[in-house]
Structure 1
Amino acid sequence: MIFGILSGIFWAIDTLLLSKVQIFALLLVAIHDFTSFLFIGIFLKISKINLLLNKKQLLVIAIASMAGGLGMISFLLSIHYAKAPLASILSSLYPAFSVIIAGILLGQRLSKVGFLGLFIAVSFTISLFIFDIEFRDVNLLGVIFGLLCAMCWGSECVIINLALKDNVNEKVALFIRQGVSSSIALGSFLIFSIVQNTQNTYIINYELIVIAAFFATVSYTFYYKAIAKIGALRAMGLNISYSAWIIIFGFIVGETFSIFLLICAILIMLGSVTSNVK
């Protein structure tokens, strides 16, 4: 359980740091994930971990990695068309897709209490954003990309579980994941720049991105460890606690805080932990 909780804590730190970086989102993802890719590569080199995989393992990891990369791009497109609050709500539905896919591919099921806990965590994550939406201005493309994001992220969690069950080292899987994700993000950024004929000059805070990428690497490592040890659904139930940790850390650094946010944070945390009850 501790690995899943730690993945949420470090992802919250990564998210808060990235929120301070003001550059085009696709470029940010490309730099961020490539930096994480380098961190893992250095660790693998020092640790002398065997990178050899069979074709089946490589294919499974590649599919999961593509799902993760496409999920991030869909999330950014949903923000573009439907604004951040609705995009955040739709993307937070990824556990629902994971439950369905895990049942089909892995035969994993949550207990009734665990399912209730996951429902509580997702519901109060949605509550954090619901009051910021102007429903009259909802864009259909934004909704489609938001749901696609949830499907991709939900699929990634379950598919990578297949590889980790096949004795693949989680750091090797993450190395491939970040390499594929950064390549997809960079390719998408270049295509967008060509299509839009943009020649913007960006002032990039590399130091902040590198620090964020380090925390993201730690978060993903713990997340993959949790998936390997307790399965995709229970690991995901703990990982979604990141939204509660964002509220807590935001309060510590002086960001907006209220009783409503505190209640949401407590219930998200409670639901997250309850999702692991067998």
Structure 2
Amino acid sequence: MTNRRQPPRWWAELLVLGLLYGAYSGGRLLARGDVRLAVDHGLAILRVEELLAIDLERPLNRLFTHHAALGIPADFVYASLHYLVTPAVLVWLYRRRPQQYRFARTWLAISTVLGLIGFALVPTCPPRLLDASYGFTDTMARYSAYGWWGGEASAPRGLGGLTNQFAAMPSLHVGWALWCGIALWRHGRRPLVRALGAAYPAVTTLVVMGTANHYFLDAVAGAAVMGAGWLAARALPGSRAPHTVRTAGFRGKSTIVSGGWDTSAGELLPVQRRAAADAAAAADATATAADDSAPEDSAAAAR
């Protein structure tokens, strides 16, 4: 009986992810930081962007402010998709791509922890909370009558005190969206799914800047955190994503074997492939010996 690696149990995964989200929410609150320090960090980021001419959040924010047809949908995207798409992709991977789920979950968890460390070390005032003289408009506050949020980030009205408004660097909105996009692009089979995977992180990046919730460098840092989390996840023993290997199988047929996970119906494990190859070689040798002895047997019968 073969020893196959089983996918994680759903209830254990639900518990782990619940603890992770609790740590994410609690960590954001604990890493509030000093207001003056957060403003200084925000202005420092803005000055660097101005120096490099990459302060892309300014024209986007003006565009979203002047055109409600863009600003209102962007606010809904910012306030909701971050908390809906990520768990949906996790469930999709667990159910439809269990071979890739374990690594993807580990990658997301490590990256989130790195982001929380960033919130604690670099509390950052987002553009919308800077003085009005810097030219930013809080679109969430401007269009709050259209949604459930108030003037304090994306929290429901009256619950703004439960959020950390200085958790801007890095942008985990962008980081999580990038994770979702890569998962959909790599493991989606339909062109529409892969297209959504490519579009989602790009749209999220535009939204977080246009709503004045993040600087462009916050988005860059969010992508960098995901890259670091990916490298860390690969370094963990047993968590690397399985890969597909194509080898020559029994009787010249191509056999696909998944590394470390259950094989599909009809596929052979490495031990089985070796046994099959040995059996095939023995059968060929027997057939050859039989063919060589056949003429001699015929001649003897004729005599």
> Which category describes the TM-score, using the shorter chain as reference length?
under 0.3
TM-score, scaled relative to structure 2:
0.25
Higher helix share: 1
Bigger relative contact order, structure 1 or 2, given CA contacts below 8 A and separation 6+?
1
TM-score, scaled relative to structure 1:
0.26
